[in-house]
Amino acid sequence: MYASWTVKHKPSSLSEIVGNAETIQKLSKWVNSWEKGIPKKRAAFLYGPPGVGKTVSVEALANDLGMELVERNASDYRTAEAVERFAGLASQYGTLYGRSRLVLLDEMDGITGTADRGGVRAAIKIIKEAKCPIVLVANSAYDPRFSTLRKYCLLIEFKKPTVLQIVKHLRKVCGREEIEAEDQVLKFIADRSGRDVRSAVNDLQALAQGKKRLVHEDVSWLAKRDRKEVIFNVLRTIFYSSDAWEAKRALDAADVDADMLFEWIYENVPRHFTDSRDLARAMDALSLADVYRGRIRSTRNWSLLKYVYDFMTAGVAMARERSKPGGWIPFRFPERIRVMGQTKGLRAMQSSIGMRIRRRCHISSVRAIREVLPYLRIIFESNAEMAASLAKWLDLDEDMVEHLAGGKRQAGAITKRLAS
């Protein structure tokens, strides 16, 4: 069974947290101050972008101090009654074994919706009466609904770690997984993650599947790909949603174009739909999406794009009936996009030669590549004299000659005859 590396290699101690050393020290100092009595601020509000270590820092701190951590997502407790039932009891009573308790309300952003019905007010009331540390976590502490809540909290901002700090963490993960990775590869992954530690580890795991060594060629194809940090969440919503509208709304978070999203879905559907009938229906939906993609390319009628999105989101989601989740399954980068990225230079060279053949033979460059190029390659690899004549007639440069000859040695023999 696969295990997510973000979970497998999650820090268990504050010393393992990536970056934010001063911020973590501030949090630790506040929690330790409870030993001298209840501080003026009975709650700490941690905020910052996703993947920078807010939640894991609280978990590691509780582990370091031997505290009992009572943790829930605040978005699951949106009403006043629900928040009071959980956080109220957790903040008032000690543990059975006399350990100190730390209460964590994660994902506070989720409590700010229209369905709130008093959840924030209840949280404020609990903080006022708390007898143990309460930590709130959100991406932003400055949502208008938090204006009153902020007054009762110690605000602690988490910032993105540096690329070098993320590289150091990725190197540790590689060491534990017995993977040898070039420094430029780790730096590339860290930089492309947008300095999001969780995203960087996910990317590393996806790229390292089935490998014991990572080199620049393994990631160079990513240089031109559209980057979207939440693409895995988008795919997870589409594959596992039981609601067609929810699957369609996943598009709001996907900042990749229709073609790229299609490739992501096409690559990963067979790995997440375990029942053959579900898989057949999902692939049928994708084939219909592909039909509309072709129609758009030929007619430039972009109003058809909505059908592409409908079939590859809601269509795929509704295909799942019998497939059961079988543990954590990593998402793969689209293989076809990777191969195209790796062969971009090759295709560009073939296109250039095809254009030279086109001018001389008065055929399309596509036909030249398909029908003439294979025979040219045989000639250039075996007959230097004839190859030299053809190279001169087609006006091929040295790089083109080397490409057709299959190596520098044979290309040298041909260029020598061209010079004579």
Is 59 a member of any domain? yes
Is 7 a member of any domain? no
Q: Are residues 92 and 186 in the same domain?
A: no
d(CA 405, CA 402): 5
Q: Are residues 380 and 320 in the same domain?
A: no
List the domain range (segments joined by +) for residue 274: 231-334
| Beta-carbon contacts of residue 280 (< 8 Å; ≥ 6 apart) | none
Is 314 a member of any domain? yes
pLDDT tens sequence across 258-285: 778 888 899 989 988 988 999 999 999 9
Q: Where does a domain end: 184, 203, 224? A: 224
pLDDT tens sequence across 13-67: 999 999 899 999 999 999 999 888 888 898 999 998 887 889 899 999 999 998 8
Is 410 a member of any domain? yes
> Measured at the alpha carbon of residue 217, what is the angle toward residues 212 and 218, in degrees to the nearest 5?
45
Q: Are residues 312 and 348 in the same domain?
A: no
Average pLDDT for 82-102? 64
pLDDT tens sequence across 99-111: 788 888 887 776 6
Hey, is 102 helix, strand or coil? Answer: strand
Instruction: Give the CATH number of the domain where residue 216 resides.
Output: 1.10.8.60
Q: Are residues 149 and 122 in the same domain?
A: yes
d(CA 382, CA 413): 11
pLDDT tens sequence across 215-249: 877 776 555 444 444 677 788 888 888 888 888 87
Hey, is 182 helix, strand or coil? Answer: coil
Q: Where does a domain end: 178, 205, 224? A: 224
Number of domains observed in the structure of the chain:
4
DSSP secondary structure string, 149-164?
GGGGEEEEE--PPPHH
Looking at 12-21, 162-171, 298-307, 332-341, which range is the least confident one?
Answer: 332-341
| Beta-carbon contacts of residue 234 (< 8 Å; ≥ 6 apart) | 228, 250, 251, 253, 254, 261
Is 14 a member of any domain? no
Task: Say yes or no to pLDDT of 254 above 80.
Answer: no
